A and B are shown apart, each in its own frame.
Chain A
Amino acid sequence: MRRINRIFTVIVFFFLYIPMIILAVASFNKGTDIAVFQGFTFNQYKELFRDSNLLRLLGNSLIIAVISSAVATVLGTVASVGIHSMRGRMRSAVMGLTNIPMTNPDIVTGVSLALLFAFVGVLLRINSVLGFWTLLIAHITFSLPYIILNVMPKLSQMDPDLKEAALDLGCTPVQAFFKVILHEIMPGIISGALMAFTMSLDDFVISYFVTGSGFVTLPVEIYSYTKKPIQPKVYAMFTLIFVTILLLMVAMNLLQARDTSKKLRRKEASR
Chain B
Amino acid sequence: MSQELIRLTNLVMEFDGERVLDSINLYINDKEFLTLLGPSGCGKTTTLRVIGGFLTPTSGDVLFDGKRMNEVPAYKRKINTVFQRYALFPHLDVYDNIAFGLRIAKLDEKEIDERVTEMLEIVSLKGFENRKVTSLSGGQQQRVAIARALVNRPKVLLLDEPLGALDLRLRKDMQNELKRIQQAMGITFIYVTHDQEEALTMSDTIVVMDKGKIQQIGKPEDIYNEPKNAFVADFIGESNILDGVMLEDYKVKFFGRTFACVDKGFEKNEPVDVVIRPEDIDIVEADAGHLCGTVTSVTFKGVHYDTIVDFKGFKWLIQTTDFCPEGSYIGIRLNPEDIHIMHKSEYSGMFGDYSSYSAEYDEIADAEGSEDEA
A and B touch in the complex (CB under 8 A): yes
What's the minimum C-beta distance from A90 to chain B, rounded to whole angstroms? 15
Q: Pick from A5-13, A126-134, A135-143, A162-170 the stretch touching chain B.
A: A162-170
Q: Pick from B75-83, B243-251, B330-338 the stretch touching chain A.
A: B75-83
Of B52, B83, B90, B152, the residue contacting A170 (CB under 8 A) is: B152
Interface centre among A169, A184, A267 (most CB of B within 10 A): A169
What's the minimum C-beta distance from B313 to chain A, rounded to whole angstroms? 49
Q: Does A58 contact B (CB under 8 A)?
A: no
For window 141-170 of A, CB contacts with B under 8 Å fall at 159, 161-162, 164-170
Asked, given contacts A161-B87, A162-B87, whether A168 binds B81 with beta carbons under 8 Å apart, the answer is: yes
Which residue in chain A gives the minimum CB-CB distance to B49? A164
Asked, given contacts A266-B135, A270-B136, whether A168 binds B52 with beta carbons under 8 Å apart, the answer is: yes
Of A169, A183, A270, the residue contacting B137 (CB under 8 A) is: A270
A161:B75 contact, CB within 8 angstroms:
no
For window 80-117 of B, CB contacts with A under 8 Å fall at 80-81, 83-91, 100-101, 104-105
Q: Does A20 contact B (CB under 8 A)?
A: no
Residues of B within 8 A of A171 (CB): 75, 104
Of B81, B89, B137, B149, the residue contacting A164 (CB under 8 A) is: B81
B75:A167 contact, CB within 8 angstroms:
yes
What's the minimum C-beta distance from B100 to chain A, rounded to whole angstroms? 5
Residues of B within 8 A of A180 (CB): 89
Residues of A within 8 A of B132 (CB): 266
Which residue in chain A gives the minimum CB-CB distance to B145? A165
A164:B74 contact, CB within 8 angstroms:
yes
For window 58-107 of A, CB contacts with B under 8 Å fall at none
Which residue in chain B gives the minimum CB-CB distance to A165? B87
A169:B80 contact, CB within 8 angstroms:
yes
Residues of A within 8 A of B75 (CB): 167-172
B74:A167 contact, CB within 8 angstroms:
yes
Asked, given contacts A169-B101, A170-B152, A175-B104, whether A164 binds B54 with beta carbons under 8 Å apart, the answer is: yes
Residues of B within 8 A of A170 (CB): 75, 101, 104-105, 152
A164:B148 contact, CB within 8 angstroms:
no
Residues of B within 8 A of A167 (CB): 53-54, 73-75
Residues of B within 8 A of A164 (CB): 52, 54, 74, 81, 83, 87
Interface size on B, residues (CB 8 A): 29
What's the minimum C-beta distance from B349 to chain A, rounded to whole angstroms? 39
Which residue in chain A gives the minimum CB-CB distance to B100? A169
Residues of B within 8 A of A175 (CB): 104
Interface centre among A170, A180, A184, A270 (most CB of B within 10 A): A170
What's the minimum C-beta distance from B89 to chain A, rounded to whole angstroms? 6
Asked, given contacts A170-B75, A170-B104, whether A159 binds B52 with beta carbons under 8 Å apart, the answer is: no
Residues of A within 8 A of B136 (CB): 270
A161:B85 contact, CB within 8 angstroms:
yes
Main secondary structure of the interface of A (DSSP, over half): helix
With the chains together, A136 CA to B224 CA distance in Å? 71
Residues of B within 8 A of A161 (CB): 83-87
Which residue in chain A gives the minimum CB-CB distance to B151? A169
A267:B91 contact, CB within 8 angstroms:
no
For window 33-79 of A, CB contacts with B under 8 Å fall at none
What's the minimum C-beta distance from A214 to chain B, rounded to whole angstroms? 45
With the chains together, A180 CA to B87 CA distance in Å? 11
A267:B90 contact, CB within 8 angstroms:
no
Asked, given contacts A170-B101, A170-B104, whether A159 binds B85 with beta carbons under 8 Å apart, the answer is: yes
What's the minimum C-beta distance from A233 to chain B, rounded to whole angstroms? 46
With the chains together, A123 CA to B83 CA distance in Å? 58
* Interface membership of chain A positions 244-271, coded 1 if the CB is closer than 8 angstroms to chain B and 0 otherwise: 0000000000000000000000110110
For window 205-237 of B, CB contacts with A under 8 Å fall at none
Residues of A within 8 A of B135 (CB): 266-267, 269-270
What's the minimum C-beta distance from B249 to chain A, rounded to whole angstroms? 51
With the chains together, A266 CA to B132 CA distance in Å? 10
What's the minimum C-beta distance from A245 to chain B, rounded to whole angstroms? 29
With the chains together, A165 CA to B89 CA distance in Å? 9
Interface centre among A166, A168, A172, A175 (most CB of B within 10 A): A168
A169:B104 contact, CB within 8 angstroms:
yes
Residues of A within 8 A of B104 (CB): 169-171, 175, 179
With the chains together, A169 CA to B81 CA distance in Å? 8
With the chains together, A184 CA to B80 CA distance in Å? 22
What's the minimum C-beta distance from B178 to chain A, rounded to whole angstroms? 18
Residues of B within 8 A of A159 (CB): 85, 87
With the chains together, A232 CA to B53 CA distance in Å? 67
With the chains together, A24 CA to B52 CA distance in Å? 64
Residues of A within 8 A of B152 (CB): 169-170
Residues of B within 8 A of A166 (CB): 89, 100
With the chains together, A168 CA to B91 CA distance in Å? 18
B89:A162 contact, CB within 8 angstroms:
yes
For window 170-226 of A, CB contacts with B under 8 Å fall at 170-172, 175, 179-180, 183-184
22 A-B contact pairs sorted by A residue (CB < 8 Å): A159-B85, A161-B86, A164-B52, A164-B54, A164-B83, A165-B83, A166-B100, A167-B53, A167-B75, A168-B52, A168-B79, A169-B101, A169-B152, A170-B75, A170-B152, A171-B104, A172-B75, A180-B89, A183-B89, A183-B90, A266-B132, A269-B135
A168-B80, A175-B104 provided; 5 other pairs, C-beta below 8 A?
A161-B84, A162-B87, A167-B74, A270-B135, A270-B136
CB-CB nearest 3 A-B residue pairs: A169-B101, A161-B87, A165-B87
